[in-house]
Amino acid sequence: MNRTFLYNVSANIITFILMMLMSVCLTPYIVHTLGVEAFGLIHLTQNMINYLSVITASLSAVVVRFFSVAAHKGEMEQAQRYLASYFVSSIFLSISLFLLCVLLSHQLVDWLHVPAYLAKDTQIAFMLGGLLFMLNFVMSGIGAAPFYANKLYVSSVGQAIQMFCRALVIVFLFTVTTPAIWHIPLAAVIGSFAAMGIGIYYFKKLIPWFSFQWRHVSLSSSLTLVRSGVWHSLEQMGILLFLQIDLLMTNLLIGAEATGQYAAILQFPLLLRTLAGTLAVVFAPTITKLYSNQDEQGLIRYAAKAIKWSGLFVAFPAALLGGLAGPLMLLWLGPAFEELKWLLMIHAAYLCLTLMFLPLTYVPPAFNRFKVPAVVTLILGASNVLFAYGLTQLLQLGLYGIASAGAIVLLMKNIVFLPFYTAKITKQKSTIFYKHTVVPLLGAVFIWGFCACIQAVYDVTSWWELFCIGGIGFILYMGYLYLLAGTKQERIQLMRKVKQAAAARAVSR
């Protein structure tokens, strides 16, 4: 592992921890201040706005790839055309989509189960959420700089600043004014502007050779991005259908109160997905660079290691979440939410299995293969809607039906399709990636079993006890990693570095 990789991983983990702390503290604060129905509508409106990514993904999902490949090949003029064309296209498209959000906001309360007293606030929140989405769309181009330079910790700094600003603004608005739903997206917009300032500063610093000029704005470059991105748009549609349809279906099939309960439950699974996504993207620049250098064997070896280490990072928090779901729900949101611990366990269980394969999602784009993943994802997304409806309405499983449907579909996509398709396009054996999942899965079972054994003999009733169990579990997991996760050579190198650090410290004293 080189220094840049360690910086990227460390920054992403620190950002995740901050995000988790913010969520743990803000979620009960918002739920108890605004009410469970209002909390559900906050996340539901943002999820609905995210459906617009089906349109924007045709540009934002591929610009980083095309820019990086061109720049790594030394085609700087072409790289500048891709990025300049993206900025102009994204700004014009953002304005158009924001106007669409304003128009749709007037129909929103007629489509959803929205209490009358929350109708106006929900409309305002939807428009502010649209503005937030458009800001993030434009900022995707700014993210090309840290991706190309393989300095993703820069993006993590921006995310951390955005989270702090958002939290401070929420607390400020709730304190000095009457709390309202639209305060949440407004705080996110303010935080996004702060992150944009940081992003622009580092954008200029990391790629000083880029300068926006109108002569670089090219219709042909935009069309190239759109032609490759149209398949990603279809894939994004499928992703939305099995990752961000839950709250909408809950609202339509069950009601507003259940939407709020499920939105609260989803906070931790969303954090796990965020952790896995931020870890996976750390491997993406190297995967793209190896492909650009036509080092396919190096790419395969690197992708296999990425699965192993991504799985090991995610296995511990996922297993801890599932193993301590009961006391966590009781202490976090109160007795009214304790029975929903089984929902949290369902999410934790399938995320342990599926999230480790996320680094492979960056291999098909590197090979410019978008069509098959898009079609398969779209089919699976549609299947999720049908499964959720059937399990919820026909079998009367309620929220457990929606959670189970998502688990089935994600298992099919990440465990069956993704490794097999990646092996096919790289001309490897179909089972090449599975052997790297054994150690992470055994680690997850070990930690989950440890938590279950503790609760079998001891009643966890305080945050302090919960943290102590988590701390002991972490120590045990580190021992597991040392003994089983690393090779003998890696353990020897680790001990040598520890001894060298200790010796250097003794000399400095």
The yes-or-no verdict on residue 5 having pLDDT over 70 is: no
CB 239 within 8 A of CB 100: no
**Is pLDDT larger for residue 415 or for residue 368?**
415
pLDDT band for position 446 (cuts 50, 70, 90): very high
The half-sphere exposure of 397 on its side-chain side, counting CA atoms within 13 A, is 16
Summarize pLDDT for 179-234 with one digit per residue, the tens: 888 898 888 888 888 888 888 887 788 777 777 777 777 777 766 666 666 666 67
- Position 330: which residue type? L
The DSSP code sequence of 212-264 is: --GGG--HHHHHHHHHHHHHHHHHHHHHHHHHSSHHHHHHHHT-HHHHHHHHH
The DSSP code sequence of 70-93 is: HHHTT-HHHHHHHHHHHHHHHHHH
Q: What is the mean pLDDT of residues 380-394?
A: 85
State how far the Cα of 22 lies from the Cα of 491, in Å rounded to an integer: 35
Summarize pLDDT for 160-176 with one digit per residue, the tens: 888 888 888 888 988 88
Q: Is the pTM of this model over 0.95?
A: no
Summarize pLDDT for 127-150 with one digit per residue, the tens: 888 888 888 777 777 777 777 777
Summarize pLDDT for 404-427 with one digit per residue, the tens: 888 888 888 888 898 888 888 888
Contact partners, residue 336, CB within 8 Å, separation at least 6: none
pLDDT band for position 4 (cuts 50, 70, 90): low
Q: What is the mean pLDDT of residues 400-406?
A: 87
pLDDT, residue 506, reads 46
The yes-or-no verdict on residue 27 having pLDDT over 70 is: yes
Could you tell me the residue ranges of all domains in the chain?
1-244, 266-503
Using DSSP's 3-state secondary structure scheme, residue 431 falls into coil
Contact partners, residue 255, CB within 8 Å, separation at least 6: 113
Give the DSSP H/E element, type plus range, for residue 175: helix 153-176
**Is pLDDT larger for residue 63 or for residue 431?**
431
State how far the Cα of 253 lies from the Cα of 59, in Å rounded to an integer: 34
pLDDT, residue 450, reads 92
The yes-or-no verdict on residue 240 having pLDDT over 70 is: yes
State how far the Cα of 46 lies from the Cα of 43, in Å rounded to an integer: 5
Give the number of other CB atoms < 10 A from CB of residue 59: 23
Question: What are the structure tokens assigned to 200, written together?
Answer: 């622009």
Helices 256-265 and 3-34 meet at what angle, rounded to 10? 150
Question: What are the structure tokens assigned to 56, written together?
Answer: 């924007």
Mean pLDDT is highest, among 58-67, 238-247, 307-316, for 307-316
